[in-house]
Structure 1
Amino acid sequence: MMRQYELVERVKSYDPNADEVLLDRAYVYAMRAHGTQKRASGDLFFSHPLEVAAILTDLKLDDATIVAAVLHDTIEDTDATREEIDQLFGPEIGALVDGLTKIKKLDFVSRKATQGENFRKLLLAIAADVRVLLVKLADRLHNMRTLGYMAQEKRARIAEETLEIYAPLAGRMGIQEIRDELEDLAFRNLKPEAYETIAHRLDNVSHRNGQLVETIERDLTTRLAEKGITACVKGRRKRPYSIWKKMERKSLGFEQLSDIFAFRIIVDTIDDCYRALGVVHTAWPMVPGRYKDYVSTPKQNDYRSIHTTVIGPGHQRVELQIRTQDMDSVAEYGIAAHTLYKDGRTDQPSHLLNESRSYQWLRRTVDMLVEGDSPEEFLEHTKLELFHDQVFCFTPKGRLIALPRGATPIDFAYAVHTNVGNTAVGAKINGQIAPLLSELQNGDEVEIVRADGQTPPAAWESLVITGKARSAIRRATRDAVRKQYAGLGHQILERAFERAGRVYSDEKLKSALPRLARTSLDDTLAAVGRGEIFSGDVVKAVYPDYKDERRPTVDGLSGHGWFGLKGSESLKFKVPEDGSSNTAPKKKQAIPVRGFTGELPINFAPEGGAVPGDRIVGILTPGEGITIYPIQSKALATFEQEPERWLDVRWDVDEDNHQRFPAIIALSAINEPGVLATITQVIADHDANIDDIALKRPTPDFTGLIIRLSVWDLKHLTSLIADLRTTRAVSTVERITD
């Protein structure tokens, strides 16, 4: 275990002005806080944060980052608090440590939800201060180095998470050295036999071709020197995981790989990069299709280099990377190579960091993804946005757009601007009309054909690749649905005011918004359209003196569930407490329904029912009566070609005579003892009545339930569903209207 003076010496070796007192205080504080805690290996837990700090000293990071590394587990695993850290070490270090602390107080149903919420918190902290990322990656690297002491199941889970999230994140931020080691360690734990086989074969190839590597290094150095180019040539073999990925991607055997070795040519200037390329291509033939210029077109993580493959000595394929020393530093250490955290200048933003494409991109991504999604969706979209290989395409004006591999013109359109994506109706790729779902290739010039007033189809969400496109499509779909509801609400209110003999105007409604507990006109109109606000209540809010006078209930109706209307009277029907229609009517238990004549029986939709607060429609069936459907019922599509059967109905329940109405909800719950009792208790606490329950077990872990309920109204049902969703054992709850 590293001693106190050794930590100080490591930091002072590259930063003589480091705060020695601060480092000493952090060392002592963390050692006392962790006390006798042990790791799975049996080592003192305190050895772990010291090793994390040691990894970061190799990156030559500032003393505040090193202190945060030493303290990074104190809030999570000891009695230390954020307030105490702030007091002893300052709010800057306190924020870093807090950003590295997992969320423990939230009770998530699934591990994926927990993982997603913790990752959301981490990304937000990284966007505020990128040093959080550097400490987190060093933390994960040391954990992976000591993963062998964990149980097999936990090893596999941590290795998979590392391969899916942390290694790609390190790569996206340009920290290639840490990414390579994380990938290899994860690969070794997930596929130990494959790892050992490839590593053994690589050792054999290195033994056979060791002389060849030295020959190529010497030959390249000599040829470049003859042209007056000072260069450092370094040969290296590829890592087992990168070999495995290539074999999997191209369905190749190990013997078919011809570029196991790669050579890096480090020169002084950008001009020397291109001069060196000329020397290499003059000496040896280039392999067609294997030339890439990331100097003129850098990757989004700021990576810059010229890549080429040639047929070198011994007819061997030789992969070459040509770059300057600065480019090499960024390629290996990514954002950690910027001077902000090397010189200790943390009190002001660094122009180099501000110009970092990877950091700017990360902040844009976080801003885009942080709102609205569930933890699982956030994790899924972040993976989509962060962890794909890239293609580079151009607008007709020459603007470069970097996209994940597999992206479509729809993704391209949203990358240009959200409005461009929302109004896209077609695309031209390299001047030719192409489907919007075409897969883009490197170098494609893409022109988007637009149409004003266009709304993106909801189906696009499942077809695009980028998180930005998915979020924008979902938002546009929500806005379009809301606009439709607002339009419907406007029509409902105009008719309601006309029936009341009052004048409707948007200005009058705006002045009444406080009485409706709403903040905007559009929200109110949409709420009326969805049936959340009764139109009569809006009339009363605008005209407080208005009284909705109704005709008295028509008594003496015979049969079951029948209603009658004479002349211009309001038509009324009685709904018994159990929601059926087999009980004779009683006084003051009727619901007026406007717009019919005659006497007809009333029924609710056989699946889903309807409750007061729903916007409802009546469907007339000759000889059978009227069936009441909620407006959102998909079953109404069956009657679209029969408009003469549609009747305008509405609720008017007497508040002094409550009745229950039928509704159906579908739940998915963890399969464990006592869950059904918990769910039924929540329903009972809400004063709802259970009419029937059907259970289905789709997986060993979860049980599906279909529950038929009787509730007072939509507000009652919504409140019940909201409480069920917060119940620990319940995964999902949805109302069924079909």
Structure 2
Amino acid sequence: MNDFFTKGEKKVLFSLYRRLIQSAGDSIFLKDCQKLKKHLIKAAECNKLQRNNFGMNPVIRDLQTAVIVSEEIGMKGSCLIGIMLHEIVKGGILKIDSVQSEFGDDVASIIKGLVKTNELYAKSPAIESENFRNLLLSFAEDMRVILIMIADRVNIMRQIKDTDNDDDRLKVAYEAAYLYAPLAHKLGLYKLKSELEDLSLKYTQRDTYYLIKEKLNQTKASRDKYIASFIDPINKMVKEAGLQFDIKGRTKSIHSIWQKMQKQKTSFEGIYDLFAIRIILDSDPDPAKEKQECWQVYSIITDMYQPNPKRLRDWLSIPKSNGYESLHITVMGPEGRWVEVQIRTRRMDEIAERGLAAHWRYKGVKGETGLDEWLTSVREALENAESDSMKVMDQFKMDLYEDEVFVFTPKGDLFKLAKGATVLDFAFHIHSKLGCKCIGAKVNGKNAQIKQKLNSGDQVEITISNTQTPKQDWLNIVTTSKARTKIRQALKEMAARQHDFAKETLERKFKNRKLEYDEATMMRLIKRLGFKNVTEFYQSIADGGLDVNGLLDKYVEQQKRDNDPHDEITYRSAEGYNLQAIQEETTSKEDVLVIDQNLKGLDFKLAKCCNPIYGDDVFGFVTVAGGIKIHRIDCPNAGQMHERFGYRIVKARWAGKSQGTQYPITLRVVGHDDIGIVTNITSIISKENGITLRSIGIESNDGLFAGTLTVMLSDTGRLEALIKKLRTIKGVKQVSRN
């Protein structure tokens, strides 16, 4: 036990344990606490629990995660016991049957889900793309497992700020942004979602993160002053209306500001809606009363400030599927600035902060229909073994982030679909058979094609024809994963029927010609004719693209070729030789790609998207053709590559010294248009040894200039020296590398 915890960890251990017990309250019985403690001590003493890649103590890590689950998500009891015991079960120290008899089915169910997802991670703290399907299927078995996994990822992201393990931190950070943040968003955990996104940006784009953070600190005083002037009259009027409330200004997250800068292609100074005002009412929990008071506050604010009708978001009338309820409006505040105002009650605010766990508590039920529907659609998409993992992953992420549209049937039944859903999506959403026979619809009484997109409030009556069958191009019309899965299944069944017909036709022709059918000969012929597989071959016969009589002539020819032993030996030995050569070449590579001027026999190119040069921190990306492209760590496409193709990324580093090779670098220069600015820039470059100016383009507008320079140089040392010198030129405000 003494060896298992460091001195610092022992202090943290007791502090966290007290905090968890206090937070859990009476949701965990004293006898369960004692049994839990006994198992943890036994596990620590037998030294079978493993630290992860960051050296985190598993017991401390689980305690930290349990505190987040209890305090920030609001789940207690079984969840907390499950978190604390799952490592012991995973390590084989405690059997799941013993857990079931000691702590009950609920705890055992949670542990099964956690152990299953942990096995997918194995020793690596980040998942590979091919495990994605299995991971989500594990999540979907018990929705509480999703919440625990999100809390665990938040915990890891908080703890790894000082780690030396940069590679794994980068993987974990990318995964937090593309998998866990959207999961948290869908489940209504907006606070944790923002924290995951901010920390991910901090670890993957450190300079960007701290630049925005510093700018926010610099503008805090003026922002606070503006918020106070905006809030003051609202405060007064809402008090006069006799309502009890809190009102506060909330600065938007660093990640959301960065996203706006990217989307609007502007600097920090160009972003005006850096904050939102939140009004939280202390209303009675009666739904009618809550809505009435929220709309009353809406009326007060819009009488005072001009609203933007296009930016009204009403989640009071129809809440989001994750239980989120709020009224969002954007109004024109003092100085002509748009300000977002969120109006909600105390109950709604807790659901907004803590997500579905709070929603369940208020509803008094264990499940939540909207989430169950969503998880069912996830499961349907993932269980289709024929689907491409990456396509499923992309679609899943789209489903997570998409807003919803609400569509009515002619009878007035309300259905919830992802934004962008078409008539065909709606048909498949109601029933697969209806989707397969759909030829159009009447939308609000008017005829509509199957590809027409639906809007909230549309009333849709599907039109069918018994002669209609699913088409391949339908996959381009639908946007929901459920419809896409059902279409693929229907096409597959149709293809299977066509293949059976083609096979029968072929067998009949063989009998007519009195030919003996040999499977091996036919397989060789199919390969020689250029078909990728037997399915494609039979499809060609069914479509009429392949003449069966001509095929039989080629089959006879193939038989003759196979019976000539000389041809067989020559053909096979060449094929074997090539295969061996390829194997030797691929297996001799090391995991770490060393980029060196003298490196021979390795096909690599420098990526044009980020133009890496000697000295940059880089990584290699294995292309489809088998070559390797070298990218900078901060390449604008790095996130997408890690996210979608993590298994194709290899380590890379520069070796030796820069030996005269020159690389093209593009610099962006911005500043005041002083006299002779271009002369000063070109003069500095011409005086630098080993740097050549290839092109320069500068545009001036209203006393400001912006331009790009392309220079040839050998390494990052020379580049940094040049950038420093350019920044000293009078009038130059900013020099950055593109």
Q: Same fold (TM over 0.5)?
A: yes
Please name the residue that 1:470 is paired with.
Answer: 484
CA contact (8 A) 2:23 2:70 kept: no
Q: Which amino acid aligns with 1:352?
A: V
Identify the residue that residue 378 of structure 2 maps to in structure 1. 365
Residue ranges of structure 2 left out of the alignment (5+ in a row)? 1-10, 284-289, 589-602, 606-620, 627-646, 648-738
The change in CA–CA distance for 1:635 and 1:366 in structure 2 (over 3 A counts) is closer
Cα drift, residue 459 of structure 1: 2.9
- Which one of 231, 247, 264 corresponds to residue 233 of structure 1? 247
- 2:306 aligned residue: 285
Alignment of 1:306 with 2:227, yes or no, is no
Match of 1:67 in 2: 81
Q: Distance in 1 between matches of 2:581 and 2:84?
A: 39
- CA displacement at 1:476 relative to structure 2: 0.8
Change (3 A) 1:136 1:17: closer
Is the CA contact (8 Å cut-off) linking 2:501 and 2:542 kept in structure 1?
Answer: no
2:106 corresponds to which residue?
A: 92
Greater Cα shift, 256-265 or 351-360: 351-360
Change beyond 3 A, Cα 1:262–1:668? farther
Q: What's the counterpart of residue 607 of structure 1?
A: 528
- Partner of 2:248: helix, strand, or coil? strand
Corresponding letter in the other structure for 1:291: L
Query: Quick one: which of 154, 179, 190 aligns to 2:168?
Result: 154
Structure 1 residue runs of 5 or longer lacking an equivalent are 343-349, 497-533, 537-568, 581-602, 616-628, 678-695, 705-728, 730-738
- Per-residue CA deviation, residues 231-251 of structure 1 (Å, 9 max, x unaligned), is 221221111111222333343
Report the identity percentage: 28
Report the secondary structure of 2:416's partner residue.
strand
Aligned partner of 1:334 in structure 2 is 355
CA separation of 1:31 and 1:43: change in aligned 2, threshold 3 A: farther
Q: Deviations over 1:108-139 (max 9, x none)?
A: 9x99995443x444444444432212211110
1:620-635 to 2 correspondence within 5 Å? 631-633=538-540
| Counterpart for residue 508 of structure 1 | none
Alpha-carbon distance between aligned partners in 2 of 1:671 and 1:279, rounded to the nearest angstrom: 74
2:29 to 3, 16, 19: 19
Corresponding residue for 2:367? 354
Q: In structure 1, how many angstroms separate the alpha carbons of the residues matched to 2:581 and 2:102?
A: 44
Quote how far apart the aligned CAs of 1:147 are.
Answer: 2.7
Equivalent residue letter for 1:304: E
Instruction: Give 2:274's aligned residue.
Output: 260
What amino acid is the match of 2:35? R
Q: Which shows bigger deviation, 423-432 or 163-172?
A: 423-432
SS in 2 for 1:354: coil
Name the TM-score, length of structure 1 as normaliser: 0.65
- Given that residues 284 and 312 in structure 1 are in contact (C-alpha distance below 8 angstroms), is that contact kept between their aligned partners in structure 2? yes
Aligned partner of residue 309 in structure 2, secondary structure: coil
Aligned-pair RMSD on alpha carbons? 4.8
| Aligned 8 A contact 2:525 2:555 in 1 | no
| Distance in 2 between residues matched to 1:212 and 1:107, nearest whole Å | 48
| Superposed displacement of residue 576, structure 1 | 14
Structure 1 stretch 394-403 or stretch 64-73: which is displaced more? 394-403
The secondary structure found in structure 2 opposite 1:265 is strand
**Residue 188 of structure 1 is aligned with which of 202, 212, 227?**
202
Which moves more between the two structures, 119-128 or 184-193? 119-128
Q: Shift of the alpha carbon at 1:289?
A: 0.6
Q: Does residue 129 of structure 1 match 2:142?
A: yes
Partner SS, residue 15 of structure 1: helix
Cα offset for 1:437? 3.8
Aligned counterpart for 1:422 among listed residues 436, 446, 471: 436
Deviations 1:262-304 (A, max 9, x none): 1112221221011111111112111231112111122121211
Report the Cα distance in structure 1 between the residues aligned to 2:194 and 2:183, rounded to whole angstroms.
12
SS at match of 1:298: coil
**Does structure 1 residue 33 correspond to structure 2 residue 43?**
yes
AA in 1 matched with 2:293? D
Give distance in 1, aligned partners of 2:186 and 2:350.
15
User: Which residue number in structure 1 is paired with residue 258 of structure 2?
Assistant: 244
Residue pairs, 1:539-578, within 5 angstroms: 571=514
Query: Which whole-Å CA distance do the structure 1 matches of 2:581 and 2:181 have between them?
Result: 32
Q: Name the CA shift for 1:419/1:113 in 2 (closer, same or farther; >3 Å).
A: farther
* Structure 2 counterpart of 1:147, one-letter code: I
Query: What residue in structure 1 maps to residue 235 of structure 2?
Result: 221
In structure 2, what is the Cα distance between the partners aligned to 1:477 and 1:193? 50
- Provide, for residues 480-521 of structure 1, a one-character-per-residue CA deviation record: whole Å limited to 9, x for no partner: 11233455577789x79xxxxxxxxxxxxxxxxxxxxxxxxx
Looking at structure 1, the residues matched to 580 and 414 of structure 2 have their Cα atoms a distance apart, in angstroms, of 48
Shift of 1:4: 4.8
| Higher mean C-alpha deviation, range 59-68 or range 629-638 | 629-638
1:585-604 to 2 correspondence within 5 Å?
none
Identify the residue that residue 385 of structure 1 maps to in structure 2: 399
Q: Distance in 2 between matches of 1:575 and 1:490?
A: 15
Q: What letter matches 2:205 in structure 1?
A: K
Q: How big is the shift at 1:305? A: 1.0
Larger radius of gyration: 1
Tell me the equivalent position of 2:466: 452
Contact 2:74–2:354 (CA under 8 A) maintained in structure 1: no
Higher mean displacement: 9-18 or 667-676: 667-676
Match of 1:232, SS state, is strand
AA in 2 matched with 1:330: I
- For residue 379 of structure 2, what is the amino acid of its counterpart? V
8 Å CA contact 2:498, 2:539 repeated in 1:
no
Check the 8 A contact 1:302/1:356 in 2, yes or no.
no
Q: Superposed, which structure 2 residues align to 1:424-443 within 5 Å? A: 424-427=438-441, 436-443=450-457
* Separation in structure 2 between the aligned mates of residue 222 and residue 183 of structure 1, nearest angstrom: 36
Q: Is contact 2:475-2:484 (8 Å) kept?
A: yes
Mapped partners of 2:258, 2:166: distance in 1? 22
How big is the shift at 1:89? 3.8
1:415-440 per-residue CA deviation (whole Å, 9 max, x = no partner) reads 23323322222355555555544554
| 1:198 aligned onto 2:205 | no
Structure 1 counterpart of 2:67: 54
- Residue 337 of structure 1, CA deviation: 0.5
**C-alpha distance 57-111 of structure 1, shift in aligned 2 (>3 A):** closer
Deviation of 1:51 (Å) = 0.7
Residue 210 of structure 1 and its aligned partner are, at CA, apart by 1.0
Tell me, in whole angstroms, the C-alpha distance in 1 between the residues paired with 2:121 and 2:177. 26
Secondary structure at the counterpart of residue 25 of structure 2: coil
TM-superposition CA deviations, 1:78-127 (whole Å, max 9, x none): 7555345445544432321221125687899x99995443x444444444
Aligned residue in 2 for 1:174: 188
Q: CA deviation at 1:15?
A: 2.9
Deviation at 1:176, TM superposition (A): 1.4
For residues 241 and 514 of structure 2, what CA distance do their matches in structure 1 show?
99
* CA-to-aligned-CA distance 1:571-609 (integer Å, 9 cap, x gap): 5689999999xxxxxxxxxxxxxxxxxxxxxx9578249
The 8 Å contact of residues 327 and 344 in structure 2, kept in 1 or not, is answered as yes
Aligned to 2:497: 483
What is the CA distance between 1:313 and its match in structure 2? 3.5
SS at 1:296's partner residue? coil
How far did 1:306 drift?
1.0
Structure number having the greater helix percentage: 2
For 2:338, which of 298, 317, 320 is the aligned residue?
317
1:296 aligns with 2:310: no
Taking structure 2 as the reference length, the TM-score comes to: 0.65
Q: Secondary structure at the match of 2:219?
A: helix
Q: Judge conservation of contact 1:100–1:132 (CA < 8 Å) in 2.
A: yes
1:72 deviates by: 3.5
In structure 2, what residue type is equivalent to 1:409? V
Contact 1:265–1:322, Cα closer than 8 Å, also in 2:
yes
Structure 2 CA distance for partners of 1:435 and 1:308, relative to 1, 3 Å: same
Paired residue type of 1:263: I
